[in-house]
Amino acid sequence: MEIKTKRKPTGAAAMGAGPGRPKGMPNKVTTEFRETVRKLLDDNADNVGTWIAQVAEGHGENKADPAKALDLLAKLAEFAAPKLGRVEHVGDGGGPVLQEIVIKVVDADHG
């Protein structure tokens, strides 16, 4: 006959935080990677601008490619700033959002 026992939670789970990290919070490796890329971009800000300009305007044997330069800039921006989620605002039943503006006229002499 085998008796199974439950293990006691340790770490954050023992303090009531539940297992693992909160939803949406990046893990340590992701956070460190983003910080490394952000530092790399900060340390090379002048160079990055030059490189983007060279792609846009062409350099050496490479033809000018402004669209590629914008694409590269957008890709780099993802590491410097979080992507914004798309949010759609809808009213009741999925219809348009209705706004009501109330104007109240008050007689200043009668409060």
Number of domains into which the chain is organized: 1
By residue range, what is the domain housing residue 89? Answer: 25-111
Is the Cβ–Cβ distance between 96 and 54 less than 8 Å?
no
Residue 9 lies in a domain: no
Q: State the average pLDDT over residues 85-110.
A: 85
Residue 82 lies in a domain: yes
Residue 67 lies in a domain: yes
Residue 59 lies in a domain: yes
| Tokens coding 29 | 């490796």
pTM over the 0.85 mark: no
Residue 110 lies in a domain: yes
**39-67 pLDDT, tens digit each:** 888 898 889 889 999 999 999 999 999 99
Residue 59 phi/psi, 5° resolution?
Answer: -155, 130
